[in-house]
């Protein structure tokens, strides 16, 4: 499903943008149940959606609805009562959590999702080793990105490792195996479940299958098992800064670095 970028100056073409969103929603199997309803009557749709949200598995629909109502508030001829209703609806759409009941929707943040084992750290069964330049990397990235740690490891294991390290202070949220999509041979990390815009979300993982649902958002980092001469995190800092401040879709910017030495980007 296509995810639309923000339109901060969209007051003059709100309806055109909404119609594009509407077509995307109707074309999505998960939301086909809504296609029989009148999308122009937005209040009816949201009442329906909120009433039956437990039966609809589509965090991206919440994002589209939230984005639409924010745009609608800029419409010059919007009735006063409609503004009142929309201002009551927006918090309801923001409140439901997407993954594990503890991550609220955030459409504004640029988000960097990081794997743990053999990406940031290496655990040999006895001791935990941090990848070289890890704290420098996290400190600088946390200033410009919302950081989410997303590991396919069990939650109990991850907490045991994290409690030994100072790096946890830089992360806003932590996700574990129970938050992945479990397939036969790998654990998939579906970025749509995070309640973030894909145009503002990057995932770094040493296992490409983990982000195979959104490969255009991913950086496959080299597996790390204790090599102290490794400097990949240091290499990533200027790249991720350039992407963040480009004001472009991160997926477009990532493609520009696809042949960068030592890193594997989407083709």
Q: How far apart are CA 185 and CA 173, in angstroms?
A: 26
Q: How far apart are CA 141 and CA 133, in angstroms?
A: 12
Tell me the C-alpha to C-alpha distance, in Å, between residue 148 and each of 34, 103, 113, 195, 228: 32, 10, 5, 12, 25
Question: Residue 79 above 80 pLDDT?
Answer: no
Question: Highest-confidence range of 49-53, 102-106, 183-187, 223-227, by mean pLDDT?
Answer: 223-227
Q: Does domain 111-255 have CATH number 3.40.50.1000?
A: yes
- When pLDDT is cut at 50, 70 and 90, the band that residue 184 belongs to is confident
Q: Where are the domains of the chain?
A: 14-94, 111-255
The answer to whether 224 and 216 have CB atoms below 8 angstroms apart is: no
Q: What is the sign of the dihedral through the CA atoms of 177, 182, 187 and 189? A: negative
Tell me what pLDDT residue 60 has: 63
**183 contact partners, CB below 8 Å, separation of at least 6:** none
Is residue 115 part of the annotated active site? The answer reads: yes
In the block, which residue shows the tokens 């090599």? 227
- When pLDDT is cut at 50, 70 and 90, the band that residue 135 belongs to is very high
Q: Is the pTM here over 0.75, yes or no?
A: no
Average pLDDT over the chain reads: 77
Is residue 190 part of the annotated active site? The answer reads: no
Tell me what pLDDT residue 267 has: 53
Spot the catalytic one: 9, 57, 58, 117.
Answer: 117
Q: How far apart are CA 217 and CA 142, in angstroms?
A: 18
Task: Encode pLDDT of 233-258 as tens digits.
Answer: 999 999 999 999 998 999 999 988 87
Q: Identify the CA nearest to 132 among candidates 239, 245, 221.
A: 221
Question: Residue 265 above 80 pLDDT?
Answer: no
Q: Identify the CA nearest to 206 among candidates 228, 184, 230.
A: 230
Q: How far apart are CA 180 and CA 97, in angstroms?
A: 15
- When pLDDT is cut at 50, 70 and 90, the band that residue 62 belongs to is low
Neighbours of 149 (CB within 10 A): 22
In percent, the amount of the chain with pLDDT more than 90 equals: 45
- When pLDDT is cut at 50, 70 and 90, the band that residue 33 belongs to is very low
Question: Highest-confidence range of 16-30, 65-79, 120-134, 182-196, by mean pLDDT?
Answer: 120-134
Q: Can you spell out the DSSP letters for the chain?
A: ---PPP-TT-TTSHHHHHHHHHHHHHHSGGGGGGTTS-TTSHHHHHHHHHHSGGG---HHHHHHHHHHHHHHTT-TT--HHHHHHHHHHHHHHHSS-SSTT-----SS--EEEE--BTTTEEE-SS-EEEPTTHHHHHHHHTTTSEEEEE-SS-HHHHHHHHTT-SGGGG-SEEE-GGGSEE-SS-EE--GGGGTS-GGGEEEEES-GGGGTTSGGGEEEPPP-SS-TT--HHHHHHHHHHHHHTT-S-HHHHHHTTTT-TT-B---
Question: Residue 227 above 70 pLDDT?
Answer: yes
Spot the catalytic one: 9, 15, 115, 185.
Answer: 115
Q: Measured between alpha carbons, how far apart are the two ends of the chain, in Å?
A: 19
Vertex 172: Cα angle to 171 and 176 (nearest 5): 80
């Amino acid at each position: 499903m296509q995810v639309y970028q923000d339109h901060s100056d969209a007051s003059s073409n709100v309806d055109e943008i909404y119609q594009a969103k509407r077509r995307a929603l109707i074309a999505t199997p998960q939301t086909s149940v809504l296609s029989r309803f009148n999308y122009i009557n937005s209040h009816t749709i949201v009442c329906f959606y909120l009433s039956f949200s437990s039966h609809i598995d589509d965090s991206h629909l919440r994002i589209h609805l939230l984005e639409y109502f924010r745009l609608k508030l800029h419409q010059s001829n919007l009735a006063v009562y409609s503004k009142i209703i929309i201002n009551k609806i927006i918090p309801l759409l923001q409140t439901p959590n997407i993954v594990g009941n503890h991550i609220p929707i955030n459409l504004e943040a640029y988000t960097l999702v990081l794997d743990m084992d053999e990406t940031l750290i290496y655990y040999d069964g006895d001791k935990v080793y941090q990848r070289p330049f890890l704290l420098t990397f996290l400190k600088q990235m946390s200033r410009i990105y919302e950081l989410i740690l997303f590991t396919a490891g069990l939650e109990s294991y991850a907490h045991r490792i994290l409690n030994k390290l100072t790096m946890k202070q830089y992360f806003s949220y932590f996700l574990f195996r129970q938050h992945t999509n479990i397939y036969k041979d790998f654990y998939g990390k579906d970025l749509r479940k995070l309640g973030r815009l894909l145009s503002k979300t990057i995932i770094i993982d040493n296992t490409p299958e983990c982000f195979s649902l959104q490969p255009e958002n991913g950086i496959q980092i080299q597996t790390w098992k204790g090599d102290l001469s490794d400097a990949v995190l240091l290499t990533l800092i200027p790249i991720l800064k350039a992407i963040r401040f480009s004001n472009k879709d991160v997926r477009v910017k990532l493609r520009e670095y696809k042949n960068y030495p030592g890193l594997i980007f989407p083709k």
